Amino acid sequence: MRAVVVTEYGTPDVLVWQEVPDPVPGPGQIRIRVAAAGVGPTDLHIRAGHLRGPFPLPTPGILGFEAAGTVDALGDGVAGVSIGDEVAVLLPQLGGYAELVVADTWVRKPDSVSWDAAAALPASAEAAVAALRQLEVAPGEDLLLFGGGGSVGSIAIQLAVEQGIRVLAVGREHSRADVERLGATFIPTAGSLTDAVGESTDRVDAVLDAVGAVDLTAAVGLAGGPARVVTLTGAGAKDGVQLLHSGPDRAPGALDQTMPLLASGMLQLRPRVTYPLHDAAGAHAALETPGPHDKIVLLHN
Ligand SMILES: NC(=O)c1ccc[n+]([C@@H]2O[C@H](COP(=O)([O-])OP(=O)(O)OC[C@H]3O[C@@H](n4cnc5c(N)ncnc54)[C@H](OP(=O)(O)O)[C@@H]3O)[C@@H](O)[C@H]2O)c1
């Protein structure tokens, strides 16, 4: 097969489209022919060499935590899915920027869901479900959320609001309309967080940092301590703030929960822009440009 390989850690031009051996599905795994692969900010950090500890790249090193495509091979013991089925897959071990990828976790793609939407769902939905479960936010509680305009944050808003949780979404002004449309109360980042939140409430029950690079001091204060404050990145995990758990058991069923919501229109994903799969370097360069970005999906035919 051909894949986008990380030839060395560095700038986007280290991503090279080349021939590599076909992956073989092991027991319990499926292999898909990739139609679309999602690109996320973590991919950029891995490529740049900032995450060599948690995400050591194998050889060949192929990025991509999520993809969608057609099942083309089954490992031993796989049931409930057939060759030719259209699925979306979650790839905690990476590998999505390729013509073929093997996966342990998948969900059927309904006909009404486009390839690019199917590929944009898995990693963000799984993280959003995992974060809400880890925080144990309950109906009637207040959740303070940073990054509500992002892929994970926008899904977290919708899942939380649907459960009867009030979401106060802290963000930059350009995300106001989006987070309000999804049912959150917008809190501008400019000025004092405590003052801005104070117009709605003097305390919150839980905090989710879906940005990873914000000062959580005031938010921890509003939550009465860090016990129910979760961040998605190591940069935010200090002073008692919990890093989102890792591991395959953190959000079982997340794709089965969210794909039907996406198909029915009850869950909306961020706008997407597409690049050809072979031009992952161009996609990374675009995502690294400062300023707001749409979700990027790589397409292959
Ligand atoms: N631990 C995990 O398993 C896991 C899983 C998925 C993602 N992540 C990490 O979680 C973070 C979010 O991922 P994502 O896919 O949702 O990313 P994304 O779609 O790019 O969204 C990022 C969000 O952060 C906001 N943001 C970025 N820079 C900011 C700044 N300087 N000040 C304030 N807000 C800022 C953006 O706000 P605007 O909308 O205003 O631009 C946007 O809402 C990333 O760091 C990613 O690496 C971790």
Specify the pLDDT at position 170.
Answer: 94
Measured distance CA(54)–CA(235) in Å, rounded? 13
Specify the pLDDT at position 202.
Answer: 84
186-222 pLDDT, tens digit each = 998 877 787 788 777 889 999 999 998 788 999 999 9
Measured distance CA(93)–CA(3) in Å, rounded? 15
State the burial class of residue 240 (Cβ atoms within 10 Å of its Cβ: 0-12, 13-18, 19+). exposed
Specify the pLDDT at position 189.
Answer: 84
Residues 69 and 36: beta-carbon distance below 8 Å: yes
Specify the pLDDT at position 234.
Answer: 85
Q: Is the dihedral of CA 152, 154, 156, 162 positive or negative?
A: negative
Specify the pLDDT at position 193.
Answer: 80
Q: Which two tokens stand for residue 34?
A: 């990739």
Q: Is the dihedral of CA 49, 53, 55, 56 positive or negative?
A: positive
Q: Is 80 exceeded by the pLDDT of residue 139?
A: yes
Q: Is 80 exceeded by the pLDDT of residue 275?
A: yes
Measured distance CA(161)–CA(122) in Å, rounded? 20
Specify the pLDDT at position 67.
Answer: 98
Measured distance CA(208)–CA(202) in Å, rounded? 17
Average pLDDT over residues 90-112: 97
Report the share of the chain in percent with pLDDT over 70: 100
Distance from the alpha carbon of residue 212 to the mean position of ligand 1, in angstroms: 6
Q: Where are the beta strands (DSSP E) in 26-96?
A: 30-39, 66-74, 86-90
Report the share of the chain in percent with pLDDT over 90: 86
Specify the pLDDT at position 13.
Answer: 97
Specify the pLDDT at position 34.
Answer: 98
- The band of 37, judged by pLDDT with boundaries at 50, 70 and 90, is very high
**Pocket-testing residue among 144, 146, 152, ligand 1, by greatest number of atoms within 8 A of Cβ:** 152
Say which residue the tokens 């073929």 belong to. 100
Using DSSP's 3-state secondary structure scheme, residue 198 falls into helix
Distance from the alpha carbon of residue 38 to the mean position of ligand 1, in angstroms: 14
Distance from the alpha carbon of residue 150 to the mean position of ligand 1, in angstroms: 6
Say which residue, 238 or 245, is predicted with more confidence.
Answer: 245
Distance from the alpha carbon of residue 259 to the mean position of ligand 1, in angstroms: 21
Measured distance CA(228)–CA(136) in Å, rounded? 8
Which secondary structure element, helix H or strand E, spans residue 281, and what is its range?
helix 280-288
Measured distance CA(171)–CA(232) in Å, rounded? 16
Average pLDDT over residues 175-182: 96
Angle at 97 between CA 118 and CA 298, to 5 degrees: 50
Measured distance CA(193)–CA(216) in Å, rounded? 10
Nearest CA to ligand 1 atom 48: 232
Give the number of other CB atoms < 10 A from CB of residue 247.
Answer: 8
Nearest CA to ligand 1 atom 32: 214
- The band of 169, judged by pLDDT with boundaries at 50, 70 and 90, is very high
Q: How far is CA 47 from CA 60, 162, 196, 201, 292, in A?
A: 13, 36, 37, 41, 21
DSSP code of residue 2: E
Specify the pLDDT at position 174.
Answer: 92
Q: Is 80 exceeded by the pLDDT of residue 92?
A: yes
Q: Is 80 exceeded by the pLDDT of residue 226?
A: yes
Q: Is 90 exceeded by the pLDDT of residue 254?
A: yes
Average pLDDT of every residue of the chain: 95
Distance from the alpha carbon of residue 39 to the mean position of ligand 1, in angstroms: 12
Nearest CA to ligand 1 atom 47: 42
CA dihedral 117, 209, 250, 158 (to 10 degrees): -50
Distance from the alpha carbon of residue 232 to the mean position of ligand 1, in angstroms: 8
Which amino acid, 162? Answer: E
Q: Radius of gyration of the chain from Cα atoms?
A: 19
Measured distance CA(170)–CA(211) in Å, rounded? 10
Specify the pLDDT at position 294.
Answer: 96
Specify the pLDDT at position 58.
Answer: 81
Nearest CA to ligand 1 atom 20: 150
Atom of ligand 1 nearest to the CA of 292: 41
pTM for the model: 0.97
Question: Whats the size of the chain, residue-wise?
Answer: 301
Nearest CA to ligand 1 atom 5: 127
Which amino acid, 170? Answer: V
